[in-house]
Chain A
Amino acid sequence: MQASDAKKLAASPYLLVEDWVSIGVRLAGQVGIVIAKTFYYLLRLQIDWQESIRQAYFIGVKSFLIVSLTALFTGLAMSLQIAIQLVQFGGESAIGGVVSLALIRQIGPITAAIIVAGRVGSSIAAELTTMNVSEQIDALKVMRIDPIKFLVVPRFVGAMMMMPVLSIYAMFIGIFAGMVIALVYADVSFGVFLDSAKAMVIDQDFFVHFLKAFINAAIVIFYSCAIGLNTRGGAADVGNAVTRSVVWSMTVMFIVNYIVTDLTYEGPR
Chain B
Amino acid sequence: MTSQPIPPSSLPSFSKASEPMIKVEGLRKSFNGREVLKGISFEVFPGEMLAIIGPSGCGKSTLLKLITGLLEPDAGKITLNSEQIGLVFQGSALLNSLTVRENLALALRERKLPKREQDKAIMEDLTLVGLADYIDSFPTQLSGGQQKRTSFARAIVNDPQIILYDEPTTGLDPVMSTVIEDYMIELEKQLHAAGIVVTHQFSTWTRTAHRAILLNQGVVVWEGKPHEALNSTNPYIIQFAKATREGPMLAGKV
Interface residues of A (CB under 8 A from B): 131, 134-136, 138-145
Contact partners of A140 in chain B: CB under 8 A: 95, 106
Q: In the complex, A131→B65 CA distance in Å?
A: 17
Give chain A residues whose Cβ lies under 8 Å from the Cβ of B90: 135
Return A131 CB to nearest CB of chain B, in Å: 8
Complexed CA–CA distance, A138 and B110 (Å): 17
Given A135-B89, A139-B87, are A144 and B95 neighbors across the interface (CB < 8 Å)? Answer: no
> Would you call B68 and A142 a contact (CB within 8 A)?
yes
User: B106 touching A145 by the CB < 8 A rule?
Assistant: yes
User: Would you give the shortest CB distance from B31 to chain A, in whole angstroms?
Assistant: 12
CB neighbours (8 Å) of A145 from chain B are 106, 109
Output the nearest chain A residue to B164 by Cβ-Cβ distance: A142
Bound-state CA distance A143–B154 (Å) is 10
CB of B145 closer than 8 Å to a CB of A: no
**Distance of A234 from chain B, by nearest CB (Å):** 12
Q: Are A144 and B93 in contact (CB under 8 A)?
A: no
Minimum CB–CB distance from B190 to chain A (whole Å) comes to 21
B241 at the binding interface (Cβ < 8 Å) = no
Bound-state CA distance A144–B110 (Å) is 9
Q: Is the CB of A139 within 8 A of B70?
A: no
**With the chains together, A138 CA to B154 CA distance in Å?**
14
CB pairs A–B below 8 angstroms (27 shown):
A134-B91, A134-B93, A135-B89, A135-B90, A135-B91, A136-B93, A136-B95, A136-B96, A138-B65, A138-B70, A138-B93, A139-B87, A139-B94, A139-B95, A139-B154, A140-B95, A141-B69, A141-B70, A142-B69, A142-B70, A142-B85, A143-B106, A143-B107, A143-B109, A144-B110, A145-B106, A145-B109
| Contacting residues of chain B (70-129) with chain A, CB-CB under 8 angstroms | 70, 85, 87, 89-91, 93-96, 106-107, 109-110
Contacts of B93 in A (CB 8 A): 134-136, 138-139
B112 to chain A, nearest CB (A): 14
Q: In the assembled complex, how far is the CB of residue B61 from the closest CB belonging to chain A, in whole angstroms?
A: 11
Give, as a whole number of angstroms, the nearest-CB distance from A257 to chain B: 32
C-alpha spacing A145/B109, complex, angstroms: 10
Check if B89 sits within 8 Å of A139, measured CB to CB.
Answer: yes
B83: nearest residue on chain A (CB-CB)?
A: A144
With contacts defined as CB atoms under 8 Å apart, how many contacts are there between chain A and chain B in the complex?
Answer: 38
A84 smallest CB distance to B (angstroms): 50
Once the chains are docked, how many angstroms separate the CA of A136 from the CA of B89?
Answer: 9
Of all A-B residue pairs in the complex, the 8 with the closest CB atoms, nearest first, are A135-B93, A139-B93, A135-B89, A142-B87, A134-B91, A136-B93, A143-B107, A142-B68
Q: Which residues of B contact A144 (CB under 8 A)?
A: 110
Closest chain-B Cβ to A41's Cβ sits at a distance in Å of 16
Cβ of B154: which chain A residues have Cβ within 8 Å of it? 139
Residues of A within 8 A of B95 (CB): 131, 136, 139-140
**Bound-complex Cα distance A131 to B69 (A):** 18
Chain A residues with CB under 8 Å of B107's CB are 143
Q: A138-B65, A139-B87 are in contact. List 4 more A-B contacts (CB 8 A).
A: A139-B94, A142-B69, A142-B87, A145-B109
Closest Cβ–Cβ distance, residue B65 to chain A (whole Å): 8
Q: Report chain B residues within 8 Å CB of A131.
A: 95-96
A22 to chain B, nearest CB (A): 15
Q: Which residues of chain A are within 8 angstroms of B69 by Cβ–Cβ distance? A: 141-142
Residue numbers in A under 8 Å from B110 (CB-CB): 144
A20 to chain B, nearest CB (A): 21
* Complexed CA–CA distance, A143 and B102 (Å): 13
Q: How far is the CA of A144 from the CA of B106 in the complex (A)?
A: 10
On whether the beta carbons of B94 and A136 are closer than 8 Å, the reply is: yes
CB distance from A61 to the nearest CB of B (A): 15
B-chain residues with CB within 8 Å of residue A143 when the two chains form the complex: 106-107, 109
Closest residue to A144 on the B side, CB-wise? B110
CA distance A141 to B93 in the complex (A): 12
Contact string against A for B residues 35-61, beta-carbon threshold 8 Å, 1 for contact and 0 otherwise:
000000000000000000000000000
Quote the shortest CB–CB distance from B216 to chain A (angstroms). Answer: 25
Name the residue of chain A whose CB is nearest to the CB of B103.
A139
Q: Quick one: closest B residue to A145, CB to CB?
A: B106
List chain B residues, Cβ under 8 A from A139: 87, 89, 93-95, 154
In the bound assembly, the distance between CA atoms of A138 and B64 in angstroms comes to 12
Q: How far is the CB of A67 from chain B (nearest CB, A)?
A: 24
Chain B residues with CB under 8 A of A136: 93-96
Q: Are A138 and B89 in contact (CB under 8 A)?
A: yes
